[in-house]
Amino acid sequence: MSFRPFTDTWILARPKVRYFGAYPAGFLLKARDLIGCGYGDSVLHVCAGRVRDYKCGPGCPGSNSVTHFHGQGEYDLTWDLDRSLKPDLIADDCESSAWGSIITAHPQIQGVLADPPYTDWYAQHYLVNTSGAQRPTPNSIVTNAINILPVGGRVGILSMEWPRYPKTRARQIAVVHVLVGNGNIGRTFAVYERTG
């Protein structure tokens, strides 16, 4: 490998949101930092699940201010096929055309965070997949995200793989091992930036 991306290990607390495959506590904010997006940037959350629930607790002062937020930006968009989660966008992200429609309607998107089901076994825990929808692969999500992002825009994806990426149009920024404690599986958070 000619270029070694930034590497790190994040040891985070177990998820606080009750949803199968939920992000570890604190993950969203760190992930957002690595894709270079602030509170006012528009991040597209792919396979969003219950991302909207990652908020400060009731009564927490300044929970929606620029200096105090848990990774959820004011102009973010959530995308999931499960309409019961009330995402902003309901579509199958295995379909490349859906990505094109989304960026046409929302050209302000600056970054992408994705958390697809990790394996076929994991996918069987989601209503949409047991109802027939395919599981999007990490490789396809990275390619589709790079295609819609502006040059300099980044996609970060949590998975059990180290995804491939389109080398002529993107560069690899970071690959992080994400752990939540002994006896739990580890996951990989990989970040790529569009270059051309």
Contact set with ligand SAM (CB under 6 A): 17, 19, 21-23, 47, 49-51, 80-82, 92-94, 115-117, 126, 128-129, 133-136
Choice between 21 and 153, CB closer to ligand SAM? 21
Query: Of the two residues 79 and 192, which places its CB atom closer to ligand SAM in the complex?
Result: 79
- 3-class DSSP assignment, residue 142: helix
> CB-based burial of residue 9 (10 Å sphere; 0-12 exposed, 13-18 middle, 19+ buried)?
exposed
Instruction: Report, in Å, the least distance between residue 193 CB and ligand SAM.
Output: 22
149 backbone φψ class: left, alpha, beta (φ>0; ψ -120 to 50): beta
Using alpha carbons, select from 157, 192, 193 the residue that is nearest to residue 178.
157
Smaller CB separation from ligand SAM, 76 or 80? 80
User: Of the two residues 115 and 193, which places its CB atom closer to ligand SAM in the complex?
Assistant: 115
The least CB distance from residue 106 to ligand SAM, in Å, is 16
What is the biggest distance separating any 2 CA atoms in the chain, rounded to whole angstroms? 50
